[in-house]
Amino acid sequence: MKHEIRFGLGNTNEGAIGACVSVQAETREDGLAQLKALLTEFRFEDGVKICTPEGLEDLIVYFNPDAIQVNDVEEEEISE
């Protein structure tokens, strides 16, 4: 049975950047493997440029798939 598995990557209560991302998988471990594969396949470690309003230039976010672990799972829900 597939679950929505949400990973928390960073926390604005502790640092400057917080992010979260969800994947559909049967287990946390499968979700982690899927997330790492997709971030690598789509080259997110090279940076993702975010569209910004005028006056805010070059907002680029980088991801390190190797640093994401199962203990980064914030929430897990059974998908319907």
What is the distance between the alpha carbons of residues 25 and 29, in angstroms, rounded to a whole number?
A: 9
pLDDT at residue 29, rounded to an integer: 97
Return the domain boundaries, the chain. Answer: 3-78
How confident is residue 76, by pLDDT bands cut at 50, 70 and 90? confident
Is 6 within 8 Å of 75 (Cβ atoms)? yes
Report the candidate in 52, 76, 80, 49 with the shortest Cα–Cα distance to residue 62: 49
| Residue 29 neighbours by CB under 8 Å, 6+ apart | 70
Side-chain-facing half-sphere of 31: CA atoms under 13 Å: 27
pTM: 0.87
